[in-house]
Structure 1
Amino acid sequence: MKVVCAGGGPASLYLAILLKLGDRSREISVYEKNAAGATYGWGVTYWPDMLHTLMSHDDVSARAIEKESVRWSGGVAHIRDRITRHDGDQGYAVGRHRLLEILADRATSLGVDVQFGRPLTPGDPSLEGDLIVAGDGSRSVLRDHYPEHFGTQVTLGHNRFIWLGTTKVFRSFTFAFVETEHGWLWCYAYGFDGTHSTCIVECSPRTWQGLGLETAERADALELLEGLLAAPLQGHPLIDRTDGGALSSWQRFRTVTNRVWSRGNMVLLGDAAHTTHYSIGAGTTLAMQDAMALAQALQSSAPLPSALERYEQVRRRELLPLQSAARHSANWYENLTRYIHLEPHEMFALLGQRHSPLLPYVPPQLYYRVDRAVDRAQSLRSLKRWLGPRVARLMQKG
């Protein structure tokens, strides 16, 4: 079987690894338009259960990813001049550049032909194989060559955001909400190695325009943002892209959906097939899970069209709750003023509940009280279940 993958992101590289592990005789090529080492973004997040899943599929690459990852725990929120903390949640982050290096090295070691600086466009002679994988991102060139077939729809988010880095190393997932004379501006930040963190800055269009970010020169914009986010940054600078690519730009999030995911022997993978809002921190995980599902479908003896249909059915079903959570999460931030007046600990609690479909329709303080009451009731029930057998044994001994 000859497989050609367009795009050298996590989805395509991980698919190549899994397909080679499943059958070493497969001829697999991955073509990436950017040069080796050139990538957008800073760090990507994933969760402990994802690490376990990676271990079960390929422990070699999983252990390399774990070794290069930073583990963070809990959350911190800066709201105006107050700080609130939440303990409990744990996750991992790894530099996107390092993740791609690990996956490319592993794929190459298994015999995959990984070529950098080599874009694939419709009509390219290299697009000949038993399976063509369009893993070339949300703006997929291969997919967009057949717009009527795939039925691609792109919905733009309301808010503006920009993906930056900083030398401030955050040990917890950190949020900061700053009130300006033109409205609120906030960031999400997390460390991904020992020297840098990702810092995604977001605001409404009104705030973006009012602060002059729409037209500001890059150095002036970074200086302004550093001043507004001085408390969490603690004097550290914000950094734009350092990979030699184009400067980062303010964007509106692109939610991509497709009516179908395959055409003949071509199949969509990762962001080419679907995107989920960055505020749930699952983009890379979902892309690699696509690769797992596609590799699994191709392991069967079913004809290729049936295998591709099975892959699509499985992933659509698995994505439904996450896509719903992402929509509610994006909506929470687009309606920030509904929650920002609460006490910091209340607001932070609802931040953690932003995926709930009920939250937009229930008064925030009422929702917070009900949520706390449910938590206490569950804790009491857990305590009762724990105490019950022990009390019974003590009574028997008595």
Structure 2
Amino acid sequence: MKVACVGGGPAGLYLSILLKRQDPSHDVTVYERDPEGSTYGWGVTYWQGLLDRLRARDPESARAIEEHSVRWNQGVAHVRDRATRRPGDEGHGIGRHRLLEILAARARALGVRLEYEHEITADALPDADLVVAGDGVHSALRSGRADRFGAELRPGRNSYVWLGTTKVFDSFTFAFVETEHGWIWCYGYPFSTERSTCVIECAPETRSGLGLDEGSEADGLARLEKLFAHILDGHPLIGRAPAGGGTQWLTFRTLTNRAWYDDNLVLLGDAAHTTHYSIGAGTTLALEDAMALADALSQDVVLPQALARYERERRSALLSPQSAARYSAQWYENLTRYIHLPPDRMFALLGQRHSPLLPYVPPQLYYRLDRAAGQLEALRRLKRWLGPKIARSAHTRALSARK
């Protein structure tokens, strides 16, 4: 099969790797409009489950990704002048640039052609059996068939900016700062031994009240460095605006599509769907799209059936993370409902922000119910663990009595 992947992000590159591993005779080309080595963003997060799936699909690229990742197993939340820590699942961070380097090198080694600085437009698609639109949330290929794909973008309320810093956090770090114009907060996590990602978010009125919507990027970064000095420890924030430009504040938009394929054109990754960055799943979901599409193509020789299988399976798999992302975004949009709790309780509810019940139950009551449920589950686990031991002990005593 001849396949053209439009967009050199993680999803398109990983799909090309999987297709070549399935059948080296596949003719696979990845087209990327930007120069090689240029990318947006800083680091991406993932969890052990993704790494296990990557190992099963292509051990070589999984090994390189793991070797160049950093890990953490705690979260810390700073609220005003107080901080609280909680253990958590092991998280992984890797620089986006490094991830793309690894995937591009692996794709080349398998015989994939990578065409950088090569823009593909909707009215001049490559001659291929399958064209994969992995060209992001603003997909030009999808927009060229807007009436067929039926894309819908729903904007969120808050503003955010994606920054880097030379401060290497030792855990996934939250910091909530109260200002005279409202609350502003950040999510920070390491992605190498030298740098971390720092996403800063606030309500639009807080952003304008603090003067963050005007002036140069340097001015904005200086204001933010003052606000978050207690977690940055003297390290700078790093932006990516052009010289003299302003800080690139954005509003997250959730993308859904009525259809994921049309004829031989199929959507992948952010071109097909987005989930709010606060659940840290964007790259994972894009790579899982690539896995599902590769599987579907290997199982169905008829292309429409394969693409229908891919769409059906991924729509179903996305229901849970999309719901979690929606409630997570709403938690932050309603931060004042939770922020005045004691920090340990606020942090506990931060971990429960994906719950559809949380917005409708008073926070203190939800915390107590959740804690009681956790204790009950702990008792159940203890009972399950003790049950066989008590039974064996009783059986041993009974045998001894007979003797």
Q: TM-score category by the smaller chain?
A: over 0.9
Give yes or no for the alignment of 1:25 onto 2:25: yes
In structure 1, the residue matched to 2:385 is 386
Residue 183 of structure 1: CA displacement? 0.1
Residue 88 of structure 1: CA displacement? 2.8
Describe the SS at the equivalent of 1:19. helix
Residue pair 1:240, 1:247 contacting (<8 A) in 2 also? no
1:228 alignment partner AA: L
Say which one has the larger Rg: 2
Residue 395 of structure 1: CA displacement? 3.7
How much is the aligned-residue C-alpha RMSD, in angstroms?
A: 1.5
2:369 alignment partner AA: V
Residue 216 of structure 1: CA displacement? 2.6
Describe the SS at the equivalent of 1:120. coil
Distance 1:284 1:88 in 2: 20
User: Normalized against structure 2, the TM-score is what?
Assistant: 0.96
In structure 2, the residue matched to 1:62 is 62
Residue pair 2:20, 2:112 contacting (<8 A) in 1 also? yes
The within-5 A match list for 1:31-180 is 31-124=31-124, 127-180=126-179
Residue 254 of structure 1: CA displacement? 1.3
Deviations 1:141-193 (A, max 9, x none): 01001111111111111000000000010121000000000000000000010
Distance 2:90 2:122 in 1: 43
Residue 383 of structure 1: CA displacement? 1.1
Residue pair 1:164, 1:200 contacting (<8 A) in 2 also? yes
In structure 1, the residue matched to 2:401 is none
Give yes or no for the alignment of 1:283 onto 2:282: yes
Deviations 1:170-228 (A, max 9, x none): 12100000000000000000001000000000000110110011113211100100000
Distance 1:259 1:118 in 2: 29
Describe the SS at the equivalent of 1:83. strand
Residue 232 of structure 1: CA displacement? 1.0
Residue 247 of structure 1: CA displacement? 7.1
Give yes or no for the alignment of 1:13 onto 2:26: no
Give yes or no for the alignment of 1:372 onto 2:371: yes
Describe the SS at the equivalent of 2:31. strand
Distance 1:272 1:247 in 2: 27
In structure 2, the residue matched to 1:312 is 311
Residue pair 2:214, 2:246 contacting (<8 A) in 1 also? no
Residue 243 of structure 1: CA displacement? 10
Q: Percent identity?
A: 61
Distance 2:388 2:326 in 1: 43
Unaligned runs of 5+ in 2: 398-403
Distance 1:243-1:375 versus aligned 2 partners, 3 A rule: farther
1:190 alignment partner AA: Y
Distance 1:249 1:220 in 2: 12
Residue 388 of structure 1: CA displacement? 2.2
Residue pair 2:4, 2:130 contacting (<8 A) in 1 also? yes
Deviations 1:35-71 (A, max 9, x none): 1111001010000011000000000100000000001
Length, aligned pairs only: 397
Distance 2:62 2:246 in 1: 31
Distance 1:89 1:298 in 2: 33
Distance 1:170 1:213 in 2: 24
Unaligned runs of 5+ in 1: none
Deviations 1:300-351 (A, max 9, x none): 2431111101100000000001100000000000000000010000000000
Describe the SS at the equivalent of 1:253. strand
Distance 2:389 2:240 in 1: 59
Distance 1:243 1:20 in 2: 38
Describe the SS at the equivalent of 2:153. strand
In structure 1, the residue matched to 2:230 is 231
Deviations 1:349-381 (A, max 9, x none): 000000000000000000000000000111111
Residue pair 1:241, 1:247 contacting (<8 A) in 2 also? no
Q: Tell me whether 43-52 or 299-308 shows the greater mean CA deviation.
A: 299-308
Distance 1:13 1:66 in 2: 17
1:365 alignment partner AA: Q
In structure 2, the residue matched to 1:352 is 351
Residue pair 2:3, 2:128 contacting (<8 A) in 1 also? yes
Residue 122 of structure 1: CA displacement? 2.2
In the TM superposition, structure 1's runs of 4+ consecutive aligned residues that sit over 6 Å from their partners are none
Residue 34 of structure 1: CA displacement? 1.1
Distance 2:224 2:21 in 1: 46
Distance 1:274 1:315 in 2: 10
1:28 alignment partner AA: V
Residue pair 1:332, 1:354 contacting (<8 A) in 2 also? yes
Residue 248 of structure 1: CA displacement? 5.5
Residue pair 2:241, 2:248 contacting (<8 A) in 1 also? no
Describe the SS at the equivalent of 1:118. coil
Distance 1:368 1:47 in 2: 26
